[in-house]
Amino acid sequence: MELKGKYKPKIIVVVGPTASGKSDLAVEIAKKYNGEVVSADSRQVYKGMDIGTGKITQKEMQGIKHYLLDVASPKTRFTVAQYQKKANQAIGEIIKKEKLPILCGGTGFYIQSIVDNIAIPKVKPDLKLRKNLEKQSAEELFEQLKKLDSERAKNIDKYNKRRLIRAIEIVLKTKKPIPELKKNQPYDVLMLGTKIDKSELKKRIEKRLKKRLEQGMIKEVEKLHQSGVSFKRLEEFGLEYRYIAYYLQGKINEQEMVEKLQKEIEHYAKRQMTWFKKDKRIIWIKNKKTALGLIGEFIGVRC
């Protein structure tokens, strides 16, 4: 007999680009296999950001419990490190209840932080330091990093200030070079991807965008701003929040906003696919039935 501790807990992961039907699938899986859903979305963690993020509604949840939604204020900055901790806690909780954890979302980095348990350097963001470094050019920052940590400098994107600043931040705080990225797999995962063809996805994005505008997406952003979320912060969130913020400030008109958003969301979906394509563990599924079948096999339940 094998030791029980050797078994890794099984979790299901559902990924895919925006508007591809992940949330629905996750709920179906949960219903069929006694599961609960852990969201992996870097924007849905924020309270009050609902329509713009396409957050699942209470009704759509169909009684299935969802974790990692509404866990932070948009006035604060939520990071992967926090996500990693909270999501692992949630997964632990679900396992304790002897239910099936379903990790579902479109933020590749967040998914990776759980599935591969990446070791994120334990250096908290130092906004003051960042602001100071921000004044320098990418070239200057790169030169600095080269002196501080030549290894890291070798494979960093030397034009990307944000990355350079973070790298310098870590070296300055730890006084040590950044350790190589460690990965391990704490869970036994079945990764499923929802994908639809390009023209279909475009149509779905368009339809969804229209619907959400009718549902009061602009009002939502207005409300956030009134409650004290600055336009600058809203712009930082990207997509809906960024372009609606531009619109509310009169920087663009309504038509420009809608057109730009459509394109930007399409771009976003593509960037997501660039990330997910690399992960060969993902099984791209054509329909729900095959997905449910695969899961049945994976967890050893006959369907």
Partner RNA sequence: GCCGUGGUAGCUCAGGGGUAGAGCAUUUCUCUGAAAAAGAAGGGGUCGUCAGUUCAAUUCUGACCCACGGCA
Q: Does 53 bind RNA (CB under 7 A)?
A: yes
The amino acid at 94: I
Q: Does 95 bind RNA (CB under 7 A)?
A: no
Residue 186, C-beta contacts closer than 8 angstroms, at least 6 positions apart:
8, 9, 88, 117
Q: Judging by beta carbons within 10 Å of its beta carbon (0-12, 13-18, 19+), is residue 21 exposed, middle or buried?
A: middle
Residue 124-153 contact track with RNA, rule CB under 7 A, x = bound: xx----x---x-----------------x-
Considering only 34, 73, 79, 117, the residue that binds RNA (CB under 7 A) is: 79
Q: Does 212 bind RNA (CB under 7 A)?
A: no
What's the distance, CA 108 to chain centroid? 6
Point out which span in 23-31, 90-98, 219-227, 234-242 binds RNA (CB under 7 A): 234-242
Q: Kindly report the backbone phi and psi dihedral angles of residue 262, in degrees, each rounded to the nearest multiple of 5, phi listed first.
A: -55, -50
Report how far residue 219's alpha carbon sits from residue 224's, in angstroms, rounded to the nearest whole number. Answer: 9
The amino acid at 9: P
Q: Does 122 bind RNA (CB under 7 A)?
A: yes
Report how far residue 10's alpha carbon sits from residue 115's, in angstroms, rounded to the nearest whole number. Answer: 11
Q: Which is nearer to RNA, 100 or 212 (CB)?
A: 212
Q: Does 39 bind RNA (CB under 7 A)?
A: no
Q: How far is CA 176 from CA 32, 141, 158, 227, 262, in A?
A: 49, 17, 20, 41, 44
Restricted to residues 248-287, the positions that interact with RNA (CB under 7 A) are: 263-264, 266-268, 270-272, 274-275, 277-278
Q: Does 77 bind RNA (CB under 7 A)?
A: yes
Q: Which is nearer to RNA, 20 or 295 (CB)?
A: 20
> Which residues contact RNA by CB under 7 A?
41-44, 49, 52-54, 77-82, 106-110, 118-125, 130, 134, 152, 155-157, 159-163, 165-167, 170, 178-181, 198, 236-242, 263-264, 266-268, 270-272, 274-275, 277-278
